[in-house]
Structure 1
Amino acid sequence: MADDSQQLTQEHTEKIVQFQNHSWDLEAAVQDHLALRESPPPTPRASPQELVDRGGGEGDGGGGGGDYEELGNSHGYVNTNRGTLLPAWPQSNLLSWGYYLFTLPFRLTFSSLSSLFLFVYRIVYPYPRRLTDPLGDVLRFIGEYESDYGQQHPSFFQGSYSQALSHAKSELKFLLVYLHCADHQDTPIFCRSTLSDPNLMEYVNSNMVFWGCSVTTAEGYRVSQALRENAYPFLALIVLRDGRMTVVGRLEGPSSPDQLTTQLQALVRDNEAHLVVARAERQERELTAALRLQQDEDYQESLRADQEKERKRQQEREEVERKELEEKQKEEDQQRQKDDIRRLKVEMVDRVPQGTRLERRFLKIESLSSLYYYIFCHPDSPDRFQVTTNFPRQVVPCEPTGSNPQPPTFEEFRLPPRSMLFVSDLDA
C-alpha cells in the first residue's frame, strides 16, 4: 500500500482532491472540470493531508501541504491554517463586477437623458385628454327618459351637476339627485310608477331642485363616484349645511310613491333648520348690505352736495379773480396806450411872422402835411410860407407839392420830441 501511494503523481492527487470535493459525484466533477457549471463546487469535507493518508502512505505527508495549497489556488480554492478549503471569488464574477462598474456612468447618463427627453416630450405633446360635455349628457338623458317613460315626471334641472349645486345653493333649496341605470331590473317600474306619481311630482317641484343623469354617461359616472351608490334606483338629498352642500339622505332601491314621499318629507323636516338658518343669515347679510349701500348713497349724495358747493365757491372766486384781472389788464392797456401816445407825440412850437406863438402835439406816425395844414388854417398864417427848424437850420418839407405829394412823417424826418419851428413868409 505504501508503494502504491508513492506511485501517485501530483496530477492524480489533484484529480482525487477534485473528485472528493464534489462529494464523490462524478458528473458534478466532470461538469466543473469542463467549466459547464456556473456555481462553485461545494466546500470539501476532508483536508488534502487526510486524502493523502488515505492514499496509502505517510512518508510524503510532510511535503504534500504546499502542493495542495498550490492546487487549491489554481482551481479556485484556498488552503487555510485549519486545513479546510474555502471558495475564492470566481474570475468570471470579478469580470462582471468590473464591467458593471465600468459601464455604470454610461448607463446612468443614458437613463438620465432618456428620462429628460421623455419629460420634455410629454410637455410638448401631452397625453390626450378626454373631452366631456356634462350639459350634453344631461340633455341627452332627459330626452331618452321622456322617450322611454313619457313626460310625466318631476321637472329635471337642465344643467350640469355643478350648475345644479350652485342653483340649489343660491336659491336655498334641497337638491334631489337621481342616478339612472337603464340596465337595472327595478328601473322601469320605478320610473313608470313612482316618479310619475302626481303627488310626488308636486312635492318635489315645489320644494326641491330635481337633477338626474344616466350612470352610463361621463357626467353620471362622475357623480356616481362622488356619491358612492350601492343599489338602484338611487336618490340622494343634498342641502346647504355649515356653508357647504352636504348629502343628508340616501334612498336606494325600489319604493312606492307614498313611501318615497314620506321619506323625503322626513328628511326635509329634519334638515329644514339648516335652510332656515341659511335664509336668516342671508337675509341679515342682505339687510346689512342694503344698509351699507344706503349709507354709501347718502355719503355720496352729501359728498356731491359739498363738491357742488365747493365748485360754486370756486367759480365765484374765479369770476372775481377774472374780473380783477380784466380790470388790471384794462388799466395796464390804458396806461400802455398812454405811454405809446406819449412816445408818439411831438410837441411843436411855431412862430408866425406876426409873432404869434402856436403850440400843438402831433403823432410821430402822422405826415408833415398835418403841420402844414395846421399852420395854413391859422388866421395869422401867410398865404405862402416855409417852415424851418431853429438849430441846425433846416427846411421842413411839410407842403404837399407835385414833386412831393406825400410829405414824410415826423418820425421819418426825425424831428425831436420838442421842437421850435419858425414860419417864414415867402411873399414878404
Structure 2
Amino acid sequence: MDFERTNPIERDAYKNFDDSSELQSDIRFDQVETRLLRQQQDDEYLQCLREDQEREQRKTQKLLDIEKLLANLCLDEEEHQKKKEEFVKMKEPMLLAIEEELSKLCLEKHERDRQKEQLDKMRKEKAPRIPVEPPAGLPELAHLAIRLPNGERIMRRFRHTDKLKDVFDFIFCYPNAPDWFDISVPLPRRDLHCEGSTVSLLEAGLVGKHALIPKRLRLTTDTTALTLRTTPSEEGLDNRRDAC
C-alpha cells in the first residue's frame, strides 16, 4: 500500500495495528517459554524429591533393624551376652562401612573442588573470545532470550555469522549457568548440541527472535563426550554426576 497517499488517520491506524500484532506475538512467545521452563523445573524437582525419599527410607530401615535387634536382647545374662557379642560383630562392619562412606565423600568433594577450579579457568579463557554484542538495529541479527534453570532471563544479540559455539560459550561463562548442558529451542521444538557448534547461527536456524533454554546434563559415562558437549575446545574433565 502507498502510505504516502493515505491520510494521517489511516497511517496511524496501520501503525497501531502493526504494534499490536508485534506485542501479541511477544506475549505468546513469553507464555510458551515460561510454560516450558516451569515443566523442566517441575521434572527436576520431582526427581530430586524421589531421590531424597529413597535415601531417607534406607536410613529409616537401618535404624529399625538396629532397634529390633536391641529389643530382642534377652534378660538372661548368658543370652544377653551372646546377643551383645552378636551386636558388636554386626556393628563393626557398619562402622567400617561408615568410614568408607566418609572417605568416599571426602574424595568426591576433593574432585568437585578440582573440577570447579578447571571450570573457572576455562571460563576465564573463553570469556575474552566471545564476540562483542552488536548494536541494536543492525540487519542480520539474532535476538536470543536465554532462560537459565534458576529462572533468570538473559537477552543477547548475535550476528548471523557468529558461531553456535559462541552462544554455548556465552551461556557457559554466564553466572549461575549450568556447567554441562544442551540447548532446547521451544519454537520449533528442537535441541542444539555442542558437538555441532562450529556452524553459524544462520546455518543453525537461529535468525530473528528465539528463546533458548539450557538443559542441565545430569550424568554421563563418557568423559570426552561430556567435555565436548559443553566446552568443545577443552579436554581433561573427568566424569561427574551433577547434583540437583
Range into which the TM-score falls when normalised by the shorter chain: 0.3 to 0.5
Q: TM-score, normalised by structure 1?
A: 0.19
Q: TM-score, normalised by structure 2?
A: 0.32
Bigger RCO (CA 8 Å, 6+ sep): 2
Larger radius of gyration: 1
